[in-house]
Amino acid sequence: MKVRILGCSGGIGGRHLRTTSLLVDHDILIDAGTGVSDLSIAELAQIDHVFLTHTHLDHIACLPLMVDTVGDMRSRPLTVHATEAVLEILRSHIFNWAVWPDFTEIPTAAAPFVCFEALRLGTAVVLGGRRIVPLPANHTVPANAYQLDSGKASLVFSGDTGPCPALWAAVNQIANLRTLIVETAFSNRERQLATASKHLCPDLLKEELASLQRDAELYITHLKPGQVELTMQEIEDCIGEFKPRMLQNNQVFEF
Give me the sheet containing 21-24, strands edge to edge: 114-119, 78-83, 49-51, 28-30, 21-24, 2-7, 252-254
Q: Which amino acid is at 115?
A: C
pLDDT for the residue numbered 16: 86
Per-residue pLDDT for 15 more than 90? no
Measured CA to CA in angstroms, residue 187 lies from 25, 165, 190 at distances of 33, 21, 6
CA–CA dist 236, 239 (Å, integer):
5
Provide Rg for the chain, Cα atoms.
Answer: 18
Contact status, residue 115 vs residue 77, Cβ threshold 8 Å: yes
pLDDT above 90: residue 63: yes
Distance, CA of 248 to CA of 220 (rounded, Å): 9
Question: What are residue 29's DSSP bridge partners?
Answer: 23, 50
Cβ–Cβ under 8 Å, residues 172 and 208: no
Query: Helix (H, G, I), strand (E, B), or coil: what is residue 227?
Result: coil
What's the whole-number mean pLDDT along residues 7-21? 93
Within 10 angstroms of residue 116's Cβ, the number of other Cβ atoms is 18
Give me the pLDDT at residue 112, please: 98
Residue 27 DSSP code: T
Q: Is the pLDDT of residue 163 over 90?
A: yes
Dump pLDDT digits (tens) for 190-229. 999 999 999 999 999 999 999 999 999 999 999 999 999 9
User: Facing residues of 218 across strands?
Assistant: 180
Q: Write the pLDDT tens digit of every residue in 85-135.
A: 999 999 999 999 999 999 999 999 999 999 999 999 999 999 999 999 999
CATH number of the domain bearing residue 244:
3.60.15.10
- pLDDT of 14 > 90? The answer is no
- Peptide bond before 107: cis, by omega within 30 degrees of 0? yes
Report whether 146 contacts 53 (CB < 8 A): yes
Could you give the CA distance from residue 218 to residue 227 in angstroms, rounded to a whole number? Answer: 19
Query: Does 171 score more than 90 pLDDT?
Result: yes
CA distance 215 to 26: 28
Alpha-carbon span 18 to 36, nearest angstrom: 8
Report how many domains make up the chain: 1
Where does the chain show beta strands of DSSP type E? 2-7, 21-24, 28-30, 49-51, 78-83, 114-119, 125-127, 130-136, 144-149, 154-157, 177-183, 217-221, 245-246, 252-254
Q: What is the pTM of this model?
A: 0.97
Mean pLDDT, the chain, integer: 97
Asked if 38 and 65 touch (Cβ cutoff 8 Å), the reply is no
Amino acid occupying residue 173: Q
**Domain membership of residue 46 as a residue range:** 2-254
